[in-house]
Chain A
């Protein structure tokens, strides 16, 4: 257990439905990241928050995807009008602002999304 929690762990939804995932990072970590991982591939970066500010978004994050981190604490990732291609593991990670290595991200267990 890294201290990063994600809910739900599994989500099955029908195509066209909206889904929302939650990530609770390690409390003192000000940086939060979302990644997506499909079978047989490594995680792909989606977006990054520093405190409540969303500082970077991947081109993978289409306009159907939105992420928030109100008050710089937990974060939510919402997918609207889900498509079968959205089926994947969605991973959240957090890290602390630090000036010296190691530069380490702590990952949660992920939310596995299946779109039928």
Chain B
């Protein structure tokens, strides 16, 4: 699985947009980019997955530049309940059945 680098922590305020950038310089052709969210004492929860360009769902957007060496998770108008750890994962998700989490980015949303 490709190695990823993401910030350890980020602070934000309610109503702001939060953008978390993940670097994955050695991403392979078959690799997807996936983000999970984890609250304390809960299991991770899938947020979004993409291969290239932009993907949007009801909770987030994922921006992937043409070279795919990085990606940005965008959380619009965050609330206090978005305080969590966010993990960026890169890998051939169809074949690499195991997920490789790093330490993630702790996002703290303040009132």
Our verdict on whether A and B bind, yes or no, reads yes
Interface flags for B88-111 (1: CB within 8 Å of A; 0: not) read 000001100111111110000000
User: Given that A101-B93, A103-B49 are contacting pairs, would A43 and B99 also be in contact in the complex, using a CB cutoff of 8 Å?
Assistant: yes
Interface bracket on A = 20 to 34
Contact across chains for B100 and A109 when beta carbons are under 8 A apart: no
Contact across chains for A103 and B43 when beta carbons are under 8 A apart: no
Contact across chains for B98 and A42 when beta carbons are under 8 A apart: no
- A106 proximal to B (CB < 8 A): yes
Which B residues lie within 8 Å of A45 (CB)?
98-100
- A41 proximal to B (CB < 8 A): yes
User: Given that A42-B87, A101-B32, A101-B93 are contacting pairs, would A107 and B44 also be in contact in the complex, using a CB cutoff of 8 Å?
Assistant: yes
Number of A-B contacts (CB under 8 A): 71
Residues of B within 8 A of A (CB): 32, 34, 41-46, 48-49, 51, 85, 87, 93-94, 97-104
Contact sample, A vs B, 19 pairs, CB 8 Å cutoff: A31-B97, A33-B97, A35-B99, A42-B87, A43-B99, A45-B99, A45-B100, A50-B97, A89-B41, A101-B51, A102-B46, A103-B94, A104-B34, A104-B49, A105-B99, A106-B46, A107-B43, A109-B42, A110-B43
